[in-house]
Amino acid sequence: MRQRLDVPRAGRSAADGFVIVDKPKGVTSHDVVAAMRRLCATRKVGHGGTLDPIATGVLVIAVGRATRLLRYVSEHDKAYEAQITLGVSTETDDSEGSALQTPGCAATPDQIDRAIERFTGQIEQVPAAVSAIKVGGQRAYARVRSGEAVQLKARPVIVREFVRTSEVESLELPVDARTVTVEQFDAHVECSSGTYVRALARDVGQVLGCGGHLTRLRRTRVGAWSKPRTIAEMVAEVEAAGRVETSGLTAACTALFPQVEVSDSAAQQLSHGNTHGLDLAIQPGARAVATHEGRAVAVVRMEQQLKAELVFA
C-alpha cells in the first residue's frame, strides 16, 4: 500500500553533500526526494538510483551542488538481499503485479542453485517491462500501464555474486481463487548498475520452467555507502538542530574519487575550469577530486590531457 511521507520543513538549509536514506517500503524514490526537499529546506535535491516502491534500503540523496555528482553515484555497484518465489510469474516480475502463469514449483535446492549459477558473471539481461527505461521518450512502465505491450532489448550487466542464503521453503500461495505450491528462498546479489533483481527472479524461474517473481528486496549497499538513516531519524535532527546533517561536498567527492591536493595557484586555475599546464598525479583514464585546504575545487579526469569535468567554484 502506498504511504505518505509527512515531514516538517527545516528552519535552515542543509549543507551541500550526501545523505544516505533508508527508503521505507511503499513509497517511491521520488516521494523520498520530495520529503528530503522539505527536510533540507531546498529544492536542489536528487537521488542516485531508483528503488521500486516494494524495495527498502540504501538510497543516496544529494543536496545542493552535490547533485552534480549523481551521475557518478549511478555507476557504482550495488548489493541486495532478496526473497524470490518460484512457481508464479507476474506482469511486473514482483509481487505487486497480476499473476500471468501459475504452474507451481517442485524444484529441488540443487536444481535452484544450478539455475542461479547461470546468472552469475557477465550476462545479457532483458529488463523488466515495468521499469524506468525510456522507450521512444516515454518510461516503459507508463507504456505498460496504458495497456501497451513492451519488449525491451537485452543489455549486458555484471552479476558479481548471486547466491541462495536460506533454505528453500515450500509454501501454499493464494492466487486468485485457488492456492499454488511454490518454492521460496532468500538470496544475496551484488551487481553492476543497471541490473534488475526482479529480472533475475524471473529468469531463474524461466530456466526451471515454473516462472518466478521477486517477493521482497532490500538494497544494502551502493558503492561505499551501506549505513542509511531513517526518515524518522532525520525528522528528529530537524526538530533538535533545525536542519539535516549532510556529508559535506568534499566528503561526497572523496567518497567517489581519490583525492589530489593542489596549490593555491592550481586551485585558482581549476576554479575557472582551466587545466592548461597542470601536472597532477592521476593515472590515464582515471578521475580524481582536486582539493585545496580541505575544500573540493574540481573533479578532473586524465584522458590524453587533463580535463576538468566538474568545477565547484
Task: Check: CB of residue 222 under 8 Å from CB of residue 60.
Answer: yes
Residue 178 has a CB neighbour count (10 Å cut-off) of 9
Cα–Cα dist 93/113, whole Å: 20
To the query of whether residue 264 is one of the catalytic residues in this protein, the response is no
- Whose CA is closest to 225, among 82, 73, 53? 73
Q: What are phi and psi of 286, to 5 degrees?
A: -100, 155
SS3 for 38? helix
Phi-psi map region of 8: left, alpha, beta (phi>0 left; psi -120 to 50 alpha): beta
**Residue matched to cell numbers 508464479:** 88
Active-site residue, selected from the candidate residues 16, 22, 52, 93? 52
By the 10 Å C-beta count (0-12 exposed, 13-18 middle, 19+ buried), 113 is classed as middle
Q: Helical H runs in the chain?
A: 29-40, 70-73, 109-117, 140-145, 197-208, 231-241, 249-256, 264-270
- Catalytic residue positions? 52
